[in-house]
A and B are shown apart, each in its own frame.
Chain A
């Protein structure tokens, strides 16, 4: 399919925030090129038994929906109202104060009023009112109610797939209304008619079959990792030999698969392997549970649950004691808030204790899954790592709090502690753009496709803008984040808005600084760039 050109930054940043004259109920959706993702191919829908597989395009007049599509949706709403208090409550209590409006990166970057979280939610709320509340049934538009029409459905599709479910709006809402929760429901409803995007369904079906998004078969998982380790050997002189699917290992590592597939995630995976090798951790990498991320979450709760079956079942099969999870955003939202509820109790595992430091991870007592940043911060705190931060002196680093680990679990200090120990130059972005107020990369929740690049650049604008600030002020040239989507999505964003800033994961920085036993003198960092002070030597 033809590539959609993205307008140049100075054009894209001319954003008009004045809403149209006509009311929002009277404007029909317009599919602007570059802002939406391709509709899903039938084979992916079939692969996970979701309904209505067919060839279709979102811009088609006719979406080839089942005859009774309206009933399906309305029944779907009813069902979810009964199952989720969050949904029912959030349908009822919004006062439309607008506090959430300019908190959404998509609104800030596009000016499209339907990207204001409140209005995004009203798209669904108006239908809810019409069919599920007395006032909406009787008063109609006066009560903010409207009928469910084909156009409304298309509008849902368009705008629910323009929400990265980052929850920034929720942090500012006086009632904690979480528009992410609403778009999740909205996406579930749309999925009842088989209308997802290709970029989501492809990874879902891959994940189901091979255990990871990318569809890497077991031998490829292994060879990809071995390939990375060749590079590690070249740089450090150390040969690392991890194990795969090994029974009886103490720890199972569940990592995002993107990190063993492409730059710059690769370096993060290398970093983790180097760290584990250095401390002599008894762990194994599973080819079956070879994905932490879960694109199922962007289709329905049930699909998400189906994809995560592999986590505990693999831990059980391999008879490990506990789990370490890698640097991945949605993985951690789900590990933290859903995994145990879906597939627990994990009573065949043990409460996690670091074999190196003896630290009990009390906060992972039930789930038995420790975040790698928690694990590494603890190692550093106990002086178990020999670190030479000056090896990162060519990097001026800033930290991007990934939305899911920020607003879904509140992990702020651990990564900062690590960075401060492995880098000499660390600079925070402005206060209103970090921690719980962090801005999304603009490509989360399955929006990191190629065809919606304009939307991504718009959505990532606030993030990029904050990076630009520290880039100009302190010369920041490296943006670190602990999410695999970030590592995939932020590089194009930086190239577009803030050229000169690269993207890395936390453990790439750790590994650069890590002085390993028996290593040869390093002359380059993991990327093959000369280390500070070593450039001159090479010239001689």
Chain B
């Protein structure tokens, strides 16, 4: 149900633009108002989310330690998996965020006859996730070409690397292909692995379809249904310079692309996609494991009612005396 619903939701979004632009001629709405609104929603929403997380304290130091602790000098500490200093934490977070360390650890558990459990390395999810996120980022950076004059110097460099295959005109970007394959893989595993299908919600399929739609419309526009790039740049420059106008002659496919992106932006803060910001704040990863070395303060720590030694002794004094255990009061 979730799959079909999400699929049709994206189709409806596309039709919506089609009718809006082609029939009702609402270029102004789809080219200017909605993108602005989406960006504002994105920024405000993400800030709101992060501030809300940040507002809740981290009362206890609870890192998940995945390597040897710092202890005796002759025992080698695993500084990245079990950091005791800020530098170590930065290292841990860097490999986590840039290389998806924890997913890399993934193993597959299988029950064999015997009964025996077998564990195999399982790197596909890691690979697909890495391919997806890095392609996404590269594509995003490539798009900065549309928003900057003069074009920032690192953009052609990235384009050069991305398009080193040099196939055809316009040259083929690897990331365009990779992102489509990666998203398709992420979708298929959701459908084919029974457990993953069981836990999947509409909110898991929808972003996949949406991102697939964004990538696909982008690819179509670049390689197949050409749009007037000069006009597109005019529009985007207008948007960033707060002097928006709608140039003539941009194809419908562009509006579809733009609208899907706007939807993605606006949807972002309200969905699981906020994991992008959240990963930085995760207390099991971004804290150093030094809770016995330095005291960590809980801002809402409050005194509790406890059973004191005096109460204890009062109850057991006679028995203690008989057993020869020292007491405070004879």
**With A and B bound together, what is the CA distance between A339 and B201 in angstroms?**
40
Q: Is B329 close to A, CB under 8 A?
A: no
Interface size class for chain A?
35 or more
Task: Check A340/B202 contact, CB under 8 A, given A93-B274, A219-B320.
Answer: no
CB of A337 within 8 A of CB of B71, answer no
CB of A366 within 8 A of CB of B294, answer yes
CB of A462 within 8 A of CB of B109, answer yes
Nearest CB in chain B: distance from A92 CB, A: 6
Q: Is B241 close to A, CB under 8 A?
A: no
Q: Which of B49, B60, B270, B282 contacts A175 (CB 8 A)?
A: B282
Residue of A nearest to B270 (CB): A135
**With A and B bound together, what is the CA distance between A49 and B290 in angstroms?**
34
Cβ < 8 Å to B, chain A residues 487-519: none
CB of B70 within 8 A of CB of A341, answer no
Q: Is A28 close to B, CB under 8 A?
A: no
Nearest CB in chain A: distance from B207 CB, A: 9
Q: Which residues of A contact B78 (CB under 8 A)?
A: 410
Residue of B nearest to A211 (CB): B312
Q: Which residues of B contact A305 (CB under 8 A)?
A: 304
CB of A409 within 8 A of CB of B65, answer yes
Task: Check A86/B109 contact, CB under 8 A, given A177-B282, A218-B320, A381-B72.
Answer: no
CB of A414 within 8 A of CB of B71, answer yes
Nearest CB in chain A: distance from B182 CB, A: 13
Cβ < 8 Å to A, chain B residues 192-221: 193-204
CB of B270 within 8 A of CB of A176, answer no
Cβ < 8 Å to A, chain B residues 309-330: 309, 312-313, 315-316, 319-320, 322-326
Judged by DSSP, the binding face of B is loop
Residue of A nearest to B319 (CB): A219
Q: Which residues of B contact A364 (CB under 8 A)?
A: 292-293
CB of A337 within 8 A of CB of B62, answer yes
Residue of B nearest to A309 (CB): B306
CB of B196 within 8 A of CB of A95, answer no
CB of A84 within 8 A of CB of B59, answer yes
**With A and B bound together, what is the CA distance between A364 and B115 in angstroms?**
43
Q: Which residues of B contact A102 (CB under 8 A)?
A: 108-109, 195
Among B68, B199, B292: residue with most chain A CB under 10 A? B292
Q: Is B223 close to A, CB under 8 A?
A: no
Q: Is A72 close to B, CB under 8 A?
A: no
Q: Which of B74, B199, B281 contacts A116 (CB 8 A)?
A: B199
**With A and B bound together, what is the CA distance between A411 and B81 in angstroms?**
12
Of B99-107, B135-143, B169-177, B229-237, which binds chain A?
A: B99-107
Q: Which residues of B contact A118 (CB under 8 A)?
A: 199
Q: Is A88 close to B, CB under 8 A?
A: yes
Cβ < 8 Å to B, chain A residues 400-453: 406-414, 417, 430, 432-433, 436-437
**With A and B bound together, what is the CA distance between A345 and B292 in angstroms?**
11
CB of B65 within 8 A of CB of A86, answer no
Q: Is B24 close to A, CB under 8 A?
A: no
Cβ < 8 Å to B, chain A residues 127-152: 133-135, 142-144
Nearest CB in chain B: distance from A306 CB, A: 5
Nearest CB in chain A: distance from B94 CB, A: 14
Residue of A nearest to B320 (CB): A218
Q: Which residues of A contact B323 (CB under 8 A)?
A: 218-219, 222-223
Q: Is A97 close to B, CB under 8 A?
A: yes
Among B53, B61, B199, B285: residue with most chain A CB under 10 A? B199
Nearest CB in chain B: distance from A111 CB, A: 9
Q: Which of A19, A92, A246, A381 contacts B194 (CB 8 A)?
A: A19
CB of A15 within 8 A of CB of B111, answer yes
**With A and B bound together, what is the CA distance between A363 and B284 in angstroms?**
19
Residue of B nearest to A85 (CB): B56
Task: Check A245/B325 contact, CB under 8 A, given A219-B319, A363-B69, A410-B67.
Answer: yes
**With A and B bound together, what is the CA distance between A209 and B272 in angstroms?**
46
Hey, what's the 0/1 contact readout for A202-225 against B, CB within 8 Å counting as 1? 000000111100000111001100
Among B117, B129, B319: residue with most chain A CB under 10 A? B117
Q: Which residues of A contact B201 (CB under 8 A)?
A: 96, 142-144
Q: Is B125 close to A, CB under 8 A?
A: yes
Q: Is A161 close to B, CB under 8 A?
A: no
**With A and B bound together, what is the CA distance between A438 and B71 in angstroms?**
20
Of A52-60, A62-70, A165-173, which binds chain B?
A: A165-173
Q: Is B240 close to A, CB under 8 A?
A: no
CB of B195 within 8 A of CB of A172, answer no
Q: Which residues of B contact A99 (CB under 8 A)?
A: 102-103, 106, 125
Q: Is B85 close to A, CB under 8 A?
A: no
Q: Which residues of B contact A82 (CB under 8 A)?
A: 55-56
CB of A341 within 8 A of CB of B298, answer yes
Cβ < 8 Å to B, chain A residues 65-105: 81-89, 92-99, 101-103
CB of A244 within 8 A of CB of B281, answer no
CB of B105 within 8 A of CB of A171, answer yes
Q: Which residues of B contact A15 (CB under 8 A)?
A: 111
Q: Is B283 close to A, CB under 8 A?
A: yes
Q: Which residues of A contact B202 (CB under 8 A)?
A: 142-144
Q: Which residues of B contact A18 (CB under 8 A)?
A: 194
CB of A19 within 8 A of CB of B292, answer no
Hey, what's the 0/1 contact readout for B129-164 against A, CB within 8 Å counting as 1? 100000000000000000000000000000000000
Q: Is A234 close to B, CB under 8 A?
A: no
Q: Is B167 close to A, CB under 8 A?
A: no
**With A and B bound together, what is the CA distance between A103 and B53 in angstroms?**
27
Q: Which of B52, B117, B194, B305 contacts A306 (CB 8 A)?
A: B305
CB of A96 within 8 A of CB of B304, answer no
Hey, what's the 0/1 contact readout for A280-324 against B, CB within 8 Å counting as 1? 000000011000000000000010011001100110010000000
Q: Which residues of B contact A462 (CB under 8 A)?
A: 109, 117
Task: Check A93/B279 contact, CB under 8 A, given A88-B56, A313-B309.
Answer: yes
Q: Which residues of B contact A287 (CB under 8 A)?
A: 320, 325
**With A and B bound together, what is the CA distance between A87 and B52 in angstroms?**
12
Residue of A nearest to B271 (CB): A135
CB of A341 within 8 A of CB of B75, answer no
Q: Is B249 close to A, CB under 8 A?
A: no
Nearest CB in chain A: distance from B233 CB, A: 34
Q: Is A247 close to B, CB under 8 A?
A: yes
Residue of A nearest to B74 (CB): A381
Q: Which of A174, A218, A247, A336 contacts B292 (CB 8 A)?
A: A336
Give residues in B with beta carbon < 8 Å to A.
Answer: 5, 49, 52-62, 64-72, 74-76, 78, 81-82, 84, 96, 100, 102-103, 105-109, 111, 115-117, 119, 125, 129, 193-204, 270-272, 274-275, 278-279, 281-285, 289-298, 300-301, 304-309, 312-313, 315-316, 319-320, 322-326
List 18 interface pairs A-B (beta carbons < 8 Å), by A numbering.
A83-B56, A83-B57, A96-B272, A98-B193, A134-B270, A135-B271, A174-B102, A175-B285, A176-B282, A181-B284, A210-B312, A217-B319, A219-B325, A222-B325, A288-B309, A362-B70, A417-B75, A465-B115
Give residues in A with beta carbon < 8 Å to B.
Answer: 9-10, 13, 15, 17-19, 23-24, 49, 81-89, 92-99, 101-103, 108, 113, 116, 118-119, 122, 133-135, 142-144, 167, 170-178, 181, 208-211, 217-219, 222-223, 244-247, 287-288, 302, 305-306, 309-310, 313-314, 317, 335-338, 340-342, 344-345, 359, 361-367, 369, 374, 377-378, 381, 406-414, 417, 430, 432-433, 436-437, 461-462, 465-466, 468-469
Q: Which 6 A-B pairs rank lowest in CB-CB distance, beginning with the nearest? A: A410-B65, A309-B306, A219-B323, A93-B278, A176-B284, A13-B115
